[in-house]
Amino acid sequence: MKYIFLRVLCFGAFLSLLSSSLYSQTATLDSVQDIQLTKNKFCSVIEVNASWNWKNRIPLEKLENCYTAYVDLENKNIGAIIQQEWNIQYVPTVLIFKDGVEVARFEAGLSMKFSEQEILDKIELVIKQ
């Protein structure tokens, strides 16, 4: 009986891990502490954008095996800090961090938008490295 209980408990834990996969971990970061915690994960993809350019955001929730998040430069608590600390020149800018270190950056430039599938493919290549 104890053996069956342990198997059910392990299976439940396994299902719990599946239901909380990294695929569904996209968040909007509203504080410097949230940003620091997220960028220090083993793999984080963070899009820095402005709410007025939200229509050109990249659907980071399509990415797997990496934490994903958005930062709004118009957020009065963190916008100016992030823009200066990460040297954001254009929106949107997508940053990829591994263990807290920036390993790649994609900037939309003057067009203020990316080709969605092209940028997602580039991000996935960096994540797999």
Q: Mind spelling out the 3-state secondary structure of the chain?
A: CHHHHHHHHHHHHHHHHHHCCHHHCCEECCCHHHHHHHHCCCCEEEEEECHHHHHHCCCHHHCCCCEEEEEECCCCCCHHHHHHHCCCCCCCEEEEEECCEEEEEEECHHHCCCCHHHHHHHHHHHHHC
Q: What is the pLDDT of residue 88?
A: 94
Enter the tokens of residue 129: 């490295």
State residue 14's pLDDT score: 31
d(CA 48, CA 29) in angstroms, rounded, equals: 10
- Are 78 and 71 contacting, i.e. CB atoms less than 8 angstroms apart? yes
Give pLDDT tens digits along the chain (129 positions).
433 332 333 333 333 333 334 344 566 666 666 666 656 567 889 999 999 999 988 888 888 888 888 999 998 888 888 899 899 999 999 999 988 889 999 998 887 778 888 889 899 999 888
CATH superfamily of 22-128: Glutaredoxin (3.40.30.10)
Domain ranges of the chain: 22-128
Alpha-carbon span 124 to 74, nearest angstrom: 28
